Amino acid sequence: MKIRQCSRAVIINERNEILLQRFEFRDVVGNKVLWVTPGGGIEENETPAEALKRELYEELGIVVDLVGEPLFQLDVWIDGKQGPFVSREIYYKIMIPSDTRLSFENMTKDEKDAWQQVKWWSKEELQSIDDFAPREILNYI
């Protein structure tokens, strides 16, 4: 079974809301559209922390210092169009103010094509929607 190593951010603001992005995942069966945490694949010779810093700069235009150990890790089964695989996701908790200026100019072409929007969510709001993944994040906010 193929395993894709990923590093992701649970970004929380002063109101204990989480920042999520809405993406269309075109490489999975059914082209799912989901609200997900920022982050992505770990490239060769990158640590999880280095990958997440790169991804946050690409996807949100922010530069962060990662302090401490990861918050949690999940193995997410994905039904990919090229065959099933596991996304091994390492999550870090990051605190930023809700008025932080975000930029989407550094996204790759594929990210720009799949990206739809970004939004701060309360835990209560997330409990009431179905198109958010992985739901285990609710245990950490």
pLDDT, tens digit, for every residue of 38-91?
Answer: 999 999 999 999 999 999 999 999 999 887 899 999 999 998 889 999 999 999
In this prediction, residue 30 carries a pLDDT of 82
What sign for the dihedral angle of Cα 38, 52, 102, 116?
negative
Q: What percent of the chain has pLDDT over 90?
A: 77
Q: Please give the model's pTM, rounded to 2 decimal places.
A: 0.92
Contact between 125 and 28 under an 8 Å Cβ cutoff? The reply is no
Q: What percent of the chain has pLDDT over 70?
A: 100
